[in-house]
Each structure stands twice: as C-alpha cells, then as structure tokens.
Amino acid sequence: MKRLLLVHGSVTGGRPTWTVQRSGLRHRFDLVVLERPGFPPNPPVASVDFDHHAQLVAEQLRPGDHLVGHSYGGVIALLAAGAATDLVRSLTVIEPPCTRVAAGNPDVDRFAEDGRTWWAEGPRDPEAFLRGFLRYVGSDFDPPSPLSPELEQGARTLMVERGPWEADVPLEPIVAASVPVLVVSGAHHAAFDAICDVLEERLHAERLVLPGYGHAPQLHPDFNDALTSFVERSARS
C-alpha cells in the first residue's frame, strides 16, 4: 500500500489538521500523520525552525513515499523533498507561505512584511496573537474564547516559529529529480495565489484550485479524490 506522509502547518497538530484525510484516505493508503515538536500531543518547545523540522521529516521518509504538506508544513515538505529527492515519489503542497520564491510580487512582499511586523510587534496574549494570525493568512477558523488548552499551546508555538519568509526553498533539486508535484490553493488570498503560481511554473507542477475553504482547501470535498488521482498517476509514471 502506498505511503502518504502528512505534514501539518501552524497552530493545530497532525490529527486535527488531517481529520478529513484520515477518514477518507485510510483505506486507500498507508497514512502517516506526523506530529511536529511543540504541538499537542507533544510538549511545548522554546522555538520552531522550518530547517530543523524539515530534517525531522526527511528522517521519516522511506523510498517511494508521497509527501503532503499544508501551510508552514508545506514549506517544511518542500525543504525535506529538496534534501531527499531520492526518497520522494511525489510532493503535494497546500498554500505554503514560502514568500522568497515569489519575491518582487507586490502582494507577496507585503504579505512577508506584514508577517515580520506581526511577529515582532503583535500582542503577546496567545488568543489575540492567534486571531490576528488567522486574519493574516485568510483562515475561516473562529477559535473559541477562551482557547482550549490544545489551541493555547498551538498559539504559543506559533508565536515562536521562525518566519517562513526566511526560507530558501531549493526548487532545482526537485525539478532535476523529476519529482511530480501538485500545488493546491484556495483562490482566497493574492499572496498565496502568487506563490502557488510561481511554484506551478518553476516545478512544472500540476495545479489544483479549491475555493470556498479559505486557507484550508484540503477540507474541500473534492480534495481527497484529486489527491488520490495525483498519487496514483505519480506512482505509475
């Protein structure tokens, strides 16, 4: 059975991020839902670095794996795939905020600068910081107030993340290895659209646009079937 490694983004861990995928894909694939350090059920951490987490993901890869990453996890997945192209059979990224790949685009540059400002000057209250972050990425999620213990830990972990605008994503190794890539966006945010446009072009990727679910297009009812089709075609190619 083909193995899918699912890498979550910020705030929530793997299980809540990939609930729909776990229920819809578990009979089609061997699903490995990674839980990154700092996010429940793991203990809190003092800092989060995408390079470190990419190394942790790369260490989990086996030959022929299909790697899927959402948001910050998409940045991590790109870095891990670039470092271990011999192990990755396909790569799917969902709205990764790797702004440097599209530097010079006004919407992307503004998005990166707004992120720097929010992390440097935003409120230190976890709930207030989280709500501002959700607006920043165009998420439809409205967290409870007060935050649950799990969400509070996720928000505190978010606050100590290294900004994804600092990530230098190595696209050339992925292209050179002819790794099939699927880039997914939700048609809700100009910066994410621009980043995904660049990734589509530079990685010779397939593109999937699933509107109506904000920054979580993987919740769209068509996502599982589209991902399955892509993985099956990638495995045969």
Domain that residue 10 falls in: 3-236
Question: Among positive and negative, which fits the CA dihedral 215, 220, 106, 98?
Answer: positive
Structure tokens at 174: 């992925």
Dump pLDDT digits (tens) for 105-135.
999 999 999 999 999 999 999 999 999 999 9
| Residue entry with tokens 């790794």 | 179
pLDDT at 66: 98
Looking at the structure of the chain, the number of domains it has is 1
Structure tokens at 35: 């839980």
Do 67 and 93 form a contact (C-beta atoms < 8 A)? no
Question: Helix axis angle, 106-121 relative to 190-202, nearest 10°?
Answer: 120
Per-residue confidence band for 71, with pLDDT thresholds at 50, 70 and 90: very high
Render 69-115 in DSSP notation, one character per residue: EETHHHHHHHHHHHH-TTTEEEEEEES---GGGGTT-HHHHHHHHHH
- Whether 165 has a pLDDT exceeding 90, the answer reads yes
The CA distance from 122 to 70, in Å, is: 24
Amino acid at 107: D
Dump pLDDT digits (tens) for 43-64.
999 999 999 999 999 999 999 9
- Cα angle: 36, vertex 37, 43; to 5 degrees: 130
pLDDT at 237: 83
Q: Model's pTM, two decimal places?
A: 0.98
**CATH classification of the domain holding 66:** 3.40.50.1820
CA distances from 152 to 25, 119, 130, 136 (A): 29, 17, 9, 18
Dump pLDDT digits (tens) for 192-228.
999 999 999 999 999 999 999 999 999 999 999 999 9
